[in-house]
Chain A
């Protein structure tokens, strides 16, 4: 699975960091930092709860 974040859509809620701290972090202004583009763990929940709809997942075949 590949994770793509849209920095412009990110509203800095940090819900993703709460759910998957190994995959996401935040800058001081709240905007998301992607730590791991190909995380082993499922981050589907983070993608779903992201209030900015800023996290997209691509299933790699």
Chain B
């Protein structure tokens, strides 16, 4: 297979940039175009809910690459012009401003869009947190607020709550699950996280359904729960998850099903690939379709997509990794945790605020979680790679 003469990447964030950089690193010398909806050059999202929201970083620090490094990629970068249509057979993308861009290979890297509450119109005081502009706007309002309600008990909601609390605000977190991050980390570890938030003064309203936002002409004033109780708020952060940004692909003929559906090579159609949060691909080792929403996946998948564009025909089979920082706790997960998995603490102890735990299902180790235990967690990752027999986990405790 010969290399394509031109590659167009739609979505100018970490996944799209990873494809561009990997292509050049692998020796691709053809034309390269990066198209992005936002006006910012590629920046990093994880700091948005942490350092940027807390005011520890100026927004500009989130930039992924300096101008000089971007220039070295010798690509055409078009920012602030979202793609609105994809012609799969013609390999062409039309943009909002009317550009028509063609390329022999097209990479879809459009990430996610935050879900909103039913009827959530733009309303002063109500925020989602996905972009740099979102983070800057939310920070400005937090500085003037005293009471915040965070709707959402996942990673983003808990991080936003932690940051707002550390800024000294009164914070209430509302979520439908029995505990924080229950579906991601299971009830046991989720319970430790809930205890941490409670200890540091966040009011948790778990197992609660939000019925509506309440307020007046001027701004939002609170959140009404099913049952009628109103939680007062100057600022409401809606962090109830996201959905793949695929609306613009509805008439493309591509298969969409909670993301752009791809084969094991991250290919959605001949010459069309997807990467990052928007991509649902077939993980050959696990034998299942998967879509991951984390930073490392976007980068690693970017490298895999670049290799496949260049004819390597390589399946993408990562060991997932994600982390979250809340207060002074750093949680890291390699592999799969999950709500129904078995959990065994193998190093340290939750009481001491430092531990590593293995997750297992179907008799094998599937994941490792570290709670302020970085090095040990990295070492334990090998059990995830090897799928160590769960019966051996007890003997790991001492070692």
Contact = CB atoms under 8 A, between A and B. Distances in A.
Nearest to B18: A48
A53 to B, nearest CB: 5
Interface string A18-40: 10000000101110000000000
Given A13-B323, A26-B375, A51 B296 contact: yes
Interface residues of A, number: 18
Interface in B346-371: none
A35 to B, nearest CB: 14
Interface of chain A, main secondary structure:
loop
A12 B373 CA distance: 10
A17 B377 CA distance: 12
Interface residues of B, number: 25
B378 A26 contact: yes
Interface of chain B, main secondary structure:
helix
B139 interface: no
A11 B325 contact: yes
A12 B330 contact: yes
A48 B21 contact: yes
A21 B247 CA distance: 42
A13 B299 CA distance: 14
Nearest to A12: B374
Interface string B320-344: 0101010000101000000000000
Nearest to B56: A8
A13 B375 contact: no
A30 B321 contact: no
B136 interface: no
A51 B375 contact: no
Interface in B368-386: 372, 374-375, 377-378, 381
B288 to A, nearest CB: 23
A14 B334 CA distance: 11
B374 A49 contact: no
A17 B378 contact: yes
A18 B325 contact: no
Contact of B303 (A12, A28, A48, A53): A48
Contact of A14 (B18, B21, B61, B374): B374
Q: Give the 7 A-B residue pairs with the shortest CB-CB distance, closest first.
A: A30-B374, A14-B378, A51-B295, A49-B299, A12-B374, A53-B64, A53-B44
15 contacts: A9-B61, A11-B323, A13-B296, A13-B323, A14-B377, A14-B378, A15-B296, A18-B381, A29-B374, A30-B374, A48-B21, A48-B303, A49-B296, A51-B46, A51-B323
Interface of A: 9, 11-15, 17-18, 26, 28-30, 44-45, 48-49, 51, 53
